[in-house]
Structure 1
Protein backbone atom coordinates (compact mmCIF):
# COMPACT_ATOMS: atom_id res chain seq x y z
CA UNK A 1 0.00 0.00 0.00
CA UNK A 2 2.80 2.42 0.88
CA UNK A 3 4.58 1.58 -2.35
CA UNK A 4 1.45 2.42 -4.34
CA UNK A 5 1.18 5.78 -2.57
CA UNK A 6 4.84 6.56 -3.20
CA UNK A 7 4.54 5.61 -6.87
CA UNK A 8 1.41 7.68 -7.37
CA UNK A 9 3.09 10.66 -5.69
CA UNK A 10 6.10 10.22 -7.94
CA UNK A 11 3.88 10.17 -11.03
CA UNK A 12 2.21 13.40 -9.93
CA UNK A 13 5.59 15.07 -9.43
CA UNK A 14 6.88 13.84 -12.78
CA UNK A 15 3.71 15.02 -14.49
CA UNK A 16 4.23 18.51 -13.05
CA UNK A 17 7.78 18.49 -14.38
CA UNK A 18 6.86 17.13 -17.80
CA UNK A 19 5.57 20.46 -19.14
CA UNK A 20 7.26 20.98 -22.48
CA UNK A 21 9.87 23.73 -22.82
CA UNK A 22 9.78 25.51 -26.18
CA UNK A 23 12.75 27.84 -26.70
CA UNK A 24 11.97 28.49 -30.37
CA UNK A 25 8.40 29.57 -29.61
CA UNK A 26 9.62 31.70 -26.71
CA UNK A 27 12.15 33.53 -28.88
CA UNK A 28 9.59 34.07 -31.64
CA UNK A 29 7.00 35.33 -29.16
CA UNK A 30 9.45 37.74 -27.57
CA UNK A 31 9.89 39.42 -30.96
CA UNK A 32 6.31 40.67 -30.64
CA UNK A 33 5.84 44.10 -29.06
CA UNK A 34 2.87 42.89 -27.01
CA UNK A 35 4.55 39.87 -25.41
CA UNK A 36 5.42 39.74 -21.73
CA UNK A 37 8.41 37.95 -20.22
CA UNK A 38 7.54 36.68 -16.76
CA UNK A 39 10.03 35.33 -14.23
CA UNK A 40 8.20 32.97 -11.87
CA UNK A 41 11.17 32.44 -9.52
CA UNK A 42 11.42 33.73 -5.96
CA UNK A 43 12.22 37.36 -5.19
CA UNK A 44 15.68 36.28 -4.01
CA UNK A 45 16.41 34.46 -7.28
CA UNK A 46 15.13 37.41 -9.29
CA UNK A 47 17.31 39.92 -7.41
CA UNK A 48 20.38 37.71 -8.02
CA UNK A 49 19.84 38.07 -11.78
CA UNK A 50 16.96 38.27 -14.22
CA UNK A 51 16.44 38.59 -17.94
CA UNK A 52 16.10 42.14 -19.31
CA UNK A 53 12.51 43.32 -19.31
CA UNK A 54 11.25 40.45 -17.16
CA UNK A 55 8.43 40.97 -14.70
CA UNK A 56 8.59 38.86 -11.55
CA UNK A 57 5.48 37.06 -10.34
CA UNK A 58 6.07 33.96 -8.24
CA UNK A 59 4.59 30.78 -9.72
CA UNK A 60 2.37 30.38 -6.66
CA UNK A 61 1.06 33.97 -7.02
CA UNK A 62 0.55 34.12 -10.76
CA UNK A 63 -3.14 33.19 -10.85
CA UNK A 64 -3.97 35.98 -8.39
CA UNK A 65 -1.77 38.65 -9.99
CA UNK A 66 -1.81 38.03 -13.74
CA UNK A 67 -4.79 40.27 -14.56
CA UNK A 68 -2.93 43.30 -13.18
CA UNK A 69 -0.37 42.98 -16.01
CA UNK A 70 -2.20 40.96 -18.67
CA UNK A 71 -5.95 41.38 -18.81
CA UNK A 72 -6.00 40.25 -22.45
CA UNK A 73 -6.05 36.45 -22.48
CA UNK A 74 -4.64 36.43 -26.02
CA UNK A 75 -1.51 38.35 -25.03
CA UNK A 76 1.66 36.25 -25.47
CA UNK A 77 3.17 35.31 -22.10
CA UNK A 78 6.64 33.78 -21.91
CA UNK A 79 7.48 32.19 -18.56
CA UNK A 80 10.79 31.06 -17.10
CA UNK A 81 12.23 29.87 -13.80
CA UNK A 82 15.34 28.02 -12.60
CA UNK A 83 14.65 24.66 -14.23
CA UNK A 84 11.36 24.88 -16.14
CA UNK A 85 9.29 23.12 -13.49
CA UNK A 86 7.75 26.19 -11.84
CA UNK A 87 7.20 27.88 -15.20
CA UNK A 88 5.40 24.71 -16.29
CA UNK A 89 3.16 24.86 -13.22
CA UNK A 90 2.50 28.56 -13.83
CA UNK A 91 1.67 27.83 -17.49
CA UNK A 92 -0.90 25.24 -16.42
CA UNK A 93 -2.46 27.74 -13.97
CA UNK A 94 -2.71 30.42 -16.64
CA UNK A 95 -4.21 28.04 -19.18
CA UNK A 96 -6.82 27.01 -16.62
CA UNK A 97 -7.70 30.72 -16.34
CA UNK A 98 -8.19 30.88 -20.12
CA UNK A 99 -4.88 32.36 -21.30
CA UNK A 100 -4.23 31.04 -24.78
CA UNK A 101 -0.67 32.07 -25.67
CA UNK A 102 1.46 30.89 -22.76
CA UNK A 103 4.93 29.49 -23.40
CA UNK A 104 7.18 27.68 -20.95
CA UNK A 105 10.64 28.99 -21.87
CA UNK A 106 12.28 26.78 -19.25
CA UNK A 107 15.40 27.62 -17.29
CA UNK A 108 16.89 31.08 -16.82
CA UNK A 109 20.41 29.74 -17.45
CA UNK A 110 19.30 28.13 -20.73
CA UNK A 111 17.25 31.07 -21.97
CA UNK A 112 19.74 33.84 -21.17
CA UNK A 113 22.37 32.87 -23.79
CA UNK A 114 19.67 32.33 -26.41
CA UNK A 115 18.34 35.84 -25.87
CA UNK A 116 21.86 37.28 -25.98
CA UNK A 117 22.58 35.47 -29.25
CA UNK A 118 19.25 36.65 -30.68
CA UNK A 119 20.19 40.32 -30.15
Structure 2
Protein backbone atom coordinates (compact mmCIF):
# COMPACT_ATOMS: atom_id res chain seq x y z
CA UNK A 1 0.00 0.00 0.00
CA UNK A 2 1.34 3.38 -0.99
CA UNK A 3 0.10 6.53 0.70
CA UNK A 4 0.75 10.11 -0.17
CA UNK A 5 2.57 12.67 1.91
CA UNK A 6 -0.71 14.26 3.02
CA UNK A 7 -2.07 10.97 4.41
CA UNK A 8 1.26 10.18 6.04
CA UNK A 9 1.36 13.59 7.71
CA UNK A 10 -2.17 13.08 9.06
CA UNK A 11 -1.27 9.66 10.43
CA UNK A 12 1.80 11.04 12.21
CA UNK A 13 -0.21 13.96 13.61
CA UNK A 14 -2.91 11.63 14.99
CA UNK A 15 -0.26 9.35 16.46
CA UNK A 16 1.34 12.24 18.34
CA UNK A 17 -2.06 13.49 19.55
CA UNK A 18 -2.79 10.06 20.99
CA UNK A 19 0.59 9.88 22.71
CA UNK A 20 0.21 13.39 24.13
CA UNK A 21 -3.26 12.64 25.51
CA UNK A 22 -2.04 9.46 27.18
CA UNK A 23 0.93 11.22 28.74
CA UNK A 24 -1.29 14.05 29.98
CA UNK A 25 -3.71 11.65 31.63
CA UNK A 26 -6.47 12.65 29.24
CA UNK A 27 -9.85 12.56 30.97
CA UNK A 28 -11.44 10.93 27.92
CA UNK A 29 -9.53 7.67 28.41
CA UNK A 30 -11.19 4.88 30.33
CA UNK A 31 -11.30 6.37 33.80
CA UNK A 32 -12.28 4.72 37.04
CA UNK A 33 -14.35 7.31 38.91
CA UNK A 34 -14.37 6.89 42.68
CA UNK A 35 -16.56 8.89 45.04
CA UNK A 36 -14.65 8.88 48.33
CA UNK A 37 -17.47 10.37 50.42
CA UNK A 38 -19.44 8.33 52.96
CA UNK A 39 -22.03 5.81 51.83
CA UNK A 40 -24.81 8.12 53.07
CA UNK A 41 -23.44 11.05 51.03
CA UNK A 42 -23.07 8.82 47.95
CA UNK A 43 -26.68 7.64 48.27
CA UNK A 44 -27.88 11.26 48.29
CA UNK A 45 -26.38 11.79 44.83
CA UNK A 46 -23.25 10.98 42.86
CA UNK A 47 -21.64 11.05 39.41
CA UNK A 48 -23.48 8.52 37.25
CA UNK A 49 -20.51 6.25 36.52
CA UNK A 50 -18.78 6.55 39.91
CA UNK A 51 -18.34 3.80 42.45
CA UNK A 52 -18.24 4.52 46.16
CA UNK A 53 -15.20 3.79 48.28
CA UNK A 54 -15.02 6.04 51.35
CA UNK A 55 -11.57 7.60 51.73
CA UNK A 56 -11.11 5.74 55.02
CA UNK A 57 -11.46 2.42 53.16
CA UNK A 58 -9.52 3.16 49.98
CA UNK A 59 -6.37 1.28 51.01
CA UNK A 60 -8.29 -1.90 51.83
CA UNK A 61 -10.76 -1.73 48.92
CA UNK A 62 -8.90 -0.47 45.83
CA UNK A 63 -7.69 -3.96 44.87
CA UNK A 64 -11.34 -4.99 44.44
CA UNK A 65 -11.60 -2.33 41.72
CA UNK A 66 -8.18 -2.51 40.05
CA UNK A 67 -4.71 -3.82 40.75
CA UNK A 68 -3.34 -1.99 37.70
CA UNK A 69 -1.03 0.61 39.27
CA UNK A 70 -1.23 2.72 36.09
CA UNK A 71 -5.04 2.74 35.89
CA UNK A 72 -6.64 6.13 35.23
CA UNK A 73 -8.26 6.82 38.62
CA UNK A 74 -10.38 9.94 39.16
CA UNK A 75 -11.33 10.81 42.74
CA UNK A 76 -13.86 13.28 44.08
CA UNK A 77 -15.66 14.02 47.35
CA UNK A 78 -17.65 17.04 48.53
CA UNK A 79 -14.98 19.71 48.01
CA UNK A 80 -11.72 17.86 47.32
CA UNK A 81 -10.17 17.38 50.76
CA UNK A 82 -10.99 13.69 51.22
CA UNK A 83 -10.16 13.06 47.56
CA UNK A 84 -6.72 14.54 48.28
CA UNK A 85 -6.25 12.19 51.23
CA UNK A 86 -7.31 9.20 49.10
CA UNK A 87 -4.98 10.34 46.29
CA UNK A 88 -2.02 10.46 48.68
CA UNK A 89 -2.90 6.99 49.97
CA UNK A 90 -3.10 5.51 46.47
CA UNK A 91 0.16 7.16 45.41
CA UNK A 92 1.86 5.79 48.53
CA UNK A 93 0.60 2.36 47.44
CA UNK A 94 2.23 2.80 44.02
CA UNK A 95 -0.69 4.00 41.88
CA UNK A 96 0.74 6.48 39.39
CA UNK A 97 -2.22 7.88 37.45
CA UNK A 98 -4.47 9.26 40.20
CA UNK A 99 -6.24 12.62 40.02
CA UNK A 100 -8.14 14.68 42.60
CA UNK A 101 -11.06 16.10 40.61
CA UNK A 102 -12.39 18.16 43.53
CA UNK A 103 -16.02 18.09 44.62
CA UNK A 104 -19.18 16.55 43.25
CA UNK A 105 -20.23 19.86 41.70
CA UNK A 106 -16.92 19.92 39.77
CA UNK A 107 -17.51 16.55 38.10
CA UNK A 108 -21.19 16.65 37.20
> 1:19-38, aligned counterparts within 5 Å?
28-29=26-27, 31-33=28-30, 35-38=31-34
Match of 2:69 in 1: 73
Distance 1:98 1:81 in 2: 21
Give the secondary structure class of the aligned counterpart of 1:60: helix
2:86 equivalent to 1:86: no
Determine which structure has greater relative contact order: mean sequence separation of CA pairs < 8 Å that are 6+ residues apart, divided by chain length.
1
Give the secondary structure class of the aligned counterpart of 2:49: coil
Distance 1:78 1:106 in 2: 10
Alignment deviations for residues 47-75 of structure 1 (CA, whole Å, 9 cap, x no partner): 00000110100000000100111110000
2:95 equivalent to 1:99: yes
Where structure 1 has 5 or more consecutive residues not aligned to the other structure, the ranges are: 1-24, 113-119
Match of 1:64 in 2: 60
Match of 1:48 in 2: 44
Give, in angstroms, the shift of residue 111 of structure 1.
1.9
Q: TM-score, normalised by structure 2?
A: 0.75
Distance 1:77 1:110 in 2: 16
